[in-house]
Structure 1
């Protein structure tokens, strides 16, 4: 079992819980949710190019961007939508509710992607233990989101 990979995934989740409120703060400073996203994507782009260059990628690798099917560029639109939505939601529902609801959406979409082997992911049929785990995560999300309601 690759425990270090699971630890990396947990670290990435922790980083998400930090950077999304940071973007929300940026939007507040700039006076517009849409503008909070702009410096984020600029820095992300520059960082990605630097990492690619440092890891040995050269001109041929960058030219392959033209080979990417156009519909896959929708991932950038989705990313912007997630960041903009999070920027809007953080001050309204808080980070706790936002993140457990994001995880709920990820669980539901992940189950469908795995079940049908969508987007090039190997199919992983639903099992009782997978369904039970998903129900527990979703129940936990409901408790975190609505548990404080009096």
Structure 2
């Protein structure tokens, strides 16, 4: 079952690279990175609405005792930042360079989140192997930039 999650993650990574190219072309047509992100999120919202109401029959409710914590609702804002930034950066530095820096940023922040158990995630302490992995990743990003 664990292999399924690795495969799912790989497919999501492929989707991010394809999404970058698609959204960059849309940005070329709209001439606006923010409007491009708006279109992307609107279509995603419609798709998720159709999927939700087609396959899930449970009415979503906040459970008893739910505590409103503002940062739990910032995922959409962070996604908007990502989509807008990538459609600005990719045409100027290339998809591989843009995604390389994004992945490096994701890994560095993920290791920090894991190490401290931030955002309610389980603690997974930093190790020399993880540090080495980040160093190798950053070297890879550097090499990808070379012509």
The TM-score normalised by the length of structure 1 is 0.88
* Mapped partners of 1:67, 1:121: distance in 2: 17
- Aligned residue for 1:89? 89
* Mapped partners of 2:49, 2:102: distance in 1: 28
- Aligned residue for 1:34? 34
- 1:64 equivalent to 2:62? Answer yes
- Aligned residue for 2:137? 137
Which runs of 5 or more residues in structure 1 are unaligned? none
Q: 1:6-31: CA deviations, max 9, x gaps?
A: 12111110110001121111111112
Q: 1:66-108: CA deviations, max 9, x gaps?
A: 9753322222111111111101001100001011111100010
Which structure: greater helix fraction? 1
Q: How many residues align?
A: 145
Seen in structure 2, the aligned counterparts of structure 1 residues 68 and 24 have a Cα distance that, compared at 3 Å, is: farther
- Aligned residue for 2:50? 50
Seen in structure 2, the aligned counterparts of structure 1 residues 68 and 52 have a Cα distance that, compared at 3 Å, is: farther
Q: 1:31-62: CA deviations, max 9, x gaps?
A: 2121111211111111111222123244x30x
* Mapped partners of 1:67, 1:42: distance in 2: 28
* Mapped partners of 2:107, 2:50: distance in 1: 32
- Aligned residue for 2:21? 21
